[in-house]
A and B are shown apart, each in its own frame.
Chain A
Amino acid sequence: MSTLEIRDLHVSVETKEGPKPILRGVDLTINSGETHAIMGPNGSGKSTLASALAGHPKYQVTAGTVTLDGADLLAMTVDERARAGLFLAMQYPVEVPGVSVANFLRTAKTAISGEAPALRTWGKEVKGAMENLRMDTAFAERSVNEGFSGGEKKRHEILQMELFKPHFAILDETDSGLDVDALRVVSEGVNRAKETTDVGVLLITHYTRILRYIKPDFVHVFVDGRIAEEGGSELADRLENEGYDRFLAAKTA
């Protein structure tokens, strides 16, 4: 049982005009096996939360704490956070030319588990995971994300989630830009990881449609850099019908 605890988190992003505050006091506790959906309008700070948790250098934590089983996550470097069990499925995965998927996956797995995976079982595991995500195994020889379609990039992110077996996975708009088939495949992957590894999931999304495939235990509505409302999965249904207008109106009022 692991716990990711976010307390009064304030985050600024670096801009040309100087630091701009985005998150203004986020409180959130995620336990193993739980799925938390974070929803909200564009610009509400959802993706900033994802990037700040992973340690992206562009984001500065100005106040608050984040602990993973009591350890200070914010004191860790980006790679240390990943090795501590945090995984971020990125909204815009980056191309790494000349580095094959196979090499990348093995290198990352070795870094995360502290030892090289056994050659024979690893090969099978990768192949099996790729087949589950309906990825052609020829993918393994391609350069990381280079020339991948939007759907291929997202599958590749979920492939990593399944193979690296993190304690906590943040999915940053993994559903954006996916057609229905790809959305289903990707959601199946997330659900497999939940079943087999008891991973805690922070699912960041603008839309409710992915929540038909991945059932959230909790839904948090982000507005203007903090959580404006919380509830169970029924809150998602309400958002589906009402949209975010209610919250935006409250903000301007």
Chain B
Amino acid sequence: MAVTTDHTRAVADGAHSHSFGTGAVPQGSRAERLTSFDLADIPVPSGREEEWRFSPVARLQPLFSETLAASGVQVTVTAAPEVKVETVGRDDARLGTAGKPGDRTALTAWNAFAEATVVTVPAEAVASDVTSVRISGVSGEATAAHVLVRAERHSQAVVVLDHDGVATVSETVEIVVEDGAHLTVVTVQDWADGAVHASSHRARLGRDAKLKHVVVTFGGDVVRITPDAEFTAEGGEVEMVGLYFADADQHQEHRLFVDHAVPSCRSRVTYKGALQGQGAHVVWVGDVLIRAEAEGTDTYELNRNLVLTDGARADSVPNLEIQTGEIEGAGHASATGRFDDEQLFYLMARGISEVEARRLVVRGFFAELIHEIGVPSVEERLLASIEAELEKSMSVITGAPVEAAEVTA
């Protein structure tokens, strides 16, 4: 029994839940989608494919190529004392263990990378500090990058991936969370203008493993992140959180897939974004598959978009596919709304200026989610980044000139 609900461009502020069994005709199960390590299996997309239909494939074209360089980014790691960092060749046996690529850019990244950065949290270790992996763009040459984060059994750590500068990069981030480990992975896309970034995050969770996966996208021309999470044993828990803020002509796409392949696992997906300016485009697709074996699954996914100005577009598509009725709960909610004039009026009727009122509302929109991240240094940085984004939109509202964004091609 399968139910697929497609809420393309959902507008109503309605949340609803599913048990199982009734309704729409399936589009084709997510379970049937091809994954492969062989470049020949997944051709260059035309843009009409389901997984590319919202994407600017022309701008992503360099990343579809069979050959990608290694020179476009520089990777620097500052690790917690308990955490081990290595640079290894592509033949290292630990690579490729967190699932196979599921689309063309994931495949080109896998096909072309020469060296991988491996971050290991040893068994039982509790990292005393955040481990920071900085991926800085140094040239516009189409590049492949590979990072593996391994939390061995019963370890605990926070790993933050930072992306900055200008790059054209197809990246793989493998995340292995072994039995009983608690891992937080934060990836921040704070690229400069001109950056094009595709990133396949593939996470595998062991028994009673917990992963908090946080995606923050602010900068870059095109950013397309596809986080997959797969449960391999009972008791796993994944919390996937995303925040994004798109300005004029930015494309920010987040496609998630949570694969409930085993019983008694829990997933929560919460993505929130704001968008402003002509040509700002955000895409959120959340696929959740509850396989027939995955009894006792508990899942909920939510996407909210706040449209601040005319000319921006948000696509939001939650897909929930349920193959067993024996579950704890499964639901989703998606809403895309414009700035609420009644909120503005309420705040202004208390003497608060329009600019300050808008700031309050947008900060409020993100605040709860930011406080859920649980990494104070990251939270502070995010609040500052949101302030900076707001400065831009305030200048649109007040008519003050916007400073030309710096392009370092």
Q: Are B367 and A98 in contact (CB under 8 A)?
A: yes
Distance of A9 from chain B, by nearest CB (Å)? 18
B361 located at the interface, meaning its Cβ lies under 8 Å from any Cβ of chain A in the complex: yes
Across the interface, do B364 and A108 meet the contact criterion of CB distance under 8 Å? Answer: no
Cβ-based interface call for B350 (8 A)? yes
| Interface residue? A102 (CB, 8 A) | no
Q: Mark B330-356, 1 if CB is under 8 A from A, else 0.
A: 000000000011110111111111101
CB of B366 to closest CB in A, whole Å: 7
Contacts of A164 in B (CB 8 A): 350-351
Contact B354 A90 (CB under 8 A): no
B367-402: CB near A (< 8 Å → 1, else 0) gives: 110000000000000000000000000000000000
Q: Of B347, B349, B351, which one neighbours A96 at CB under 8 angstroms?
A: B347
Highest count of chain B CB atoms <10 Å: which of A54, A78, A95, A97: A78
Q: CA of A112 to CA of B350 in the docked complex: distance in angstroms? A: 7
A197 sits at the interface (CB 8 A): no
A117 within 8 A of B: no
Contacts of A95 in B (CB 8 A): 343
B58 to chain A, nearest CB (A): 37
Q: How many residues of A contact B (CB 8 A)?
A: 29
Say whether A88 faces chain B, with CB atoms less than 8 Å apart.
Answer: yes
Task: Decide yes or no whether A143 CB sits under 8 A from chain B.
Answer: yes
A96–B360 touching, CB < 8 Å = yes
Alpha-carbon distance between A57 and B363 when the two chains are bound, in angstroms: 24
With the chains together, A74 CA to B26 CA distance in Å?
57
Interface centre among A57, A82, A94, A103 (most CB of B within 10 A): A94
Give min CB distance, A107 to chain B, whole Å: 6
Q: Which of A57, A90, A93 contacts B341 (CB 8 A)?
A: A57
Contact with B along A40-58 (1 / 0, CB 8 A): 0000000000000011110
A173 to chain B minimum Cβ distance, whole angstroms, is 16
* Complex Cα spacing A57 to B131, Å: 51
The answer to whether B364 and A97 touch across the interface, beta carbons within 8 angstroms, is yes
| B368 x A90 contact (CB < 8 A) | no
Residue-by-residue, is A74-114 near B (CB-CB < 8 Å gives 1, otherwise 0)? 00011101110001101001111111000110011001100
Q: Is the CB of A79 within 8 A of B354?
A: yes
A111 in contact with B343 given A97-B365, A98-B366, A99-B360 (CB within 8 Å): no
- Once the chains bind, are B351 and A82 in contact (CB under 8 Å)? yes
User: Which residues of A from 200 to 215 have beta carbons under 8 Å from B?
Assistant: none
A167: min CB distance to chain B, Å: 13
Q: Which of B341, B350, B363 contacts A111 (CB 8 A)?
A: B350
A12 on interface, CB distance cutoff 8 Å: no
Give A38 Cβ to nearest chain B Cβ, in Å: 18
A160 at the interface (CB under 8 A from B): yes
Residues from chain B with a CB closer than 8 A to the CB of A88 are 349
Contact of A82 among B350, B354, B364 (CB under 8 A): B350
Q: Are A98 and B363 in contact, with the CB atoms below 8 A?
A: yes
Which residues on the B side are within 8 Å of A160 (C-beta)?
A: 350
A35 to B378, CA, bound (A): 52
Partner of A94, one of B343, B353, B356, B367: B343
Given known A-B contacts A98-B363, A160-B350, A56 and B345 have beta carbons under 8 A apart: yes
B residues apposed to A, CB below 8 Å: 340-343, 345-354, 356-357, 360-361, 363-368
Ordered by A's residue number, 24 sampled pairs between the chains whose C-beta atoms are within 8 Å are A54-B349, A55-B348, A77-B354, A79-B349, A79-B353, A79-B357, A82-B348, A82-B350, A94-B343, A94-B345, A96-B346, A96-B360, A96-B361, A97-B364, A98-B365, A98-B368, A99-B367, A103-B360, A107-B356, A108-B347, A108-B350, A108-B351, A111-B351, A112-B350
Using A90-B349, A96-B347, A98-B367 as known contacts, list a sample of 18 further A-B pairs with CB atoms less than 8 Å apart, ordered by residue number in A. A55-B348, A55-B349, A56-B345, A57-B341, A57-B345, A78-B349, A79-B348, A79-B351, A82-B350, A82-B351, A88-B349, A90-B346, A97-B368, A98-B368, A99-B367, A103-B360, A108-B351, A111-B350
Q: Which 9 A/B pairs are nearest by Cβ-Cβ distance?
A: A98-B364, A82-B351, A108-B350, A111-B351, A78-B348, A112-B351, A99-B364, A94-B346, A98-B367
